[in-house]
Amino acid sequence: MSTLPNILVTSAAGKTGLPLTLQLLEKAFPVRAFVRKRDNRSDLLAKAGAEIIVGDQYALSDMRKAMAGMQRAYQCAPTAPNGLHYNAVFTVAAVEAQLEHVVTLGQWLSAADHPSLFTREIYLSDTLIRMPSGMTVTSVNPGWFADNYLMVLDMAAHLGLFAMPLGEGSVKKNAPPSNEDIASVAAAALIDPTSHAGKTYRPTGPELLSPNDIAAAMGRALGRKVSYMDISEKMMTKALRAHPPSNYSEAAVSQLAIYAEEYRRGAFAVTAPTDHVAKVGGRLPETFESIVRRTIAERPDLKARFSKRIGALAGFAKMLLTPALDLDEIQRERDYVRIAQPQFCQDTPEWQETHSSAALRTPLRQAS
């Protein structure tokens, strides 16, 4: 019988939850994977040895069941409305279950007065989870994931375009981390709370890349020329409405537009890259080109074919004909809390102080 602590992973079928669960299982830790439904991802986790529990992460009764008998947990709020509600449910259940340690997935942009409601809720959630006595916490705060660029990989493969509203193509603005690298930092903190309790980490990729660099890496992996196209936020909303990803919601798009503005302002370039993946996660951070090559290997539909190119052209035409979203109206209709004087990250003294090079000099820094 295992003497290792029982670990709960929430959002276990998600971008970071799935690789985190697999990494913990590889080290023989008993893991309970909390998922929304049974599908191929939960089947993969079950086959690897995880205990699967299906439930509603927003329901306190379900979260209580998931926490029963656990000693440690990974808190990963879905990128969706009501994130603060989810994190409140998680915190209540964690306190009741007397967890010894929690690793929470936060956000590099997290600030008290940020224009994004989702981001302000993450700031509040990170504060709430640290309030209970007797439970230690580690925060993992990545920036713009490498996975975000893969939303437009089909267009790159079949039309040779990498189109996103990221601003000037030659300016290096992000060091994108892979889902697996982010998970490795979370895994290390769950495995060894003594070394990581009370600390905050920012996993990144190995180097700062410009949008042109991203396009070139896609091109090398695809074996064709790919060019970056800086598009407007209006065009981005048209593309997402015409070809919605699996986790698409208009509410999430309204926040993505704010994050794109932060990207153009250079918030994701601040202090990047870090050495946290290597020194905490214990692995060399994966290059963006390697991430793209892995994705291509898993997706035979990305291979160049005349029919695929025709389909991509038709999809591009559909995007042009799709009405754009009114992002401000979306927030009004959903009665989002709007603060009087929102501030982007680099306009916020508290954010500048806690996200400076000096604050991140060592990967084992105390969280603020």
Q: Long-range contacts of range 340-343, CB-CB < 8 Å, 24 or more positions apart?
A: 341/113, 342/113, 342/114, 342/115, 343/111, 343/113, 343/114, 343/115
The pLDDT of residue 366: 39
Nearest CA among 132, 112, 131 for reference residue 123? 112
- For the stretch 229-245, pLDDT in tens is 999 988 888 887 877 77
- For the stretch 135-185, pLDDT in tens is 999 999 999 999 999 989 999 999 999 999 999 999 999 999 999 999 999
Q: Out of 3.40.50.2300, 3.40.50.960, 3.40.50.720, 3.40.50.10490, select the CATH number for domain 7-143+178-201.
A: 3.40.50.720
Does the 146-175+205-270+285-354 domain belong in CATH 3.30.1360.120?
A: no
The pLDDT of residue 359: 67
Which residues share a beta bridge with 31? 7
Instruction: Specify the domain boundaries for CATH 3.40.50.720 within the chain.
Output: 7-143+178-201
Instruction: Specify the domain boundaries for CATH 3.90.25.10 within the chain.
Output: 146-175+205-270+285-354
Tally: H helices and E strands in the chain: 16, 9
| CB-side neighbour CA atoms (13 Å) of 46 | 12
pTM score of the predicted model: 0.92
Ramachandran class of 11: left when φ > 0, alpha when ψ lies in -120 to 50, beta otherwise: left
Q: Calculate Rg over the CA atoms of the chain.
A: 20
Any idea of the CA torsion for 283, 288, 291, 297, to the nearest 10 degrees?
-140
Say how far apart CA 333 and CA 310 lie, in whole Å. 37
The pLDDT of residue 246: 66
- Residues in the chain with pLDDT values less than 70: 1-2, 246-248, 357-368
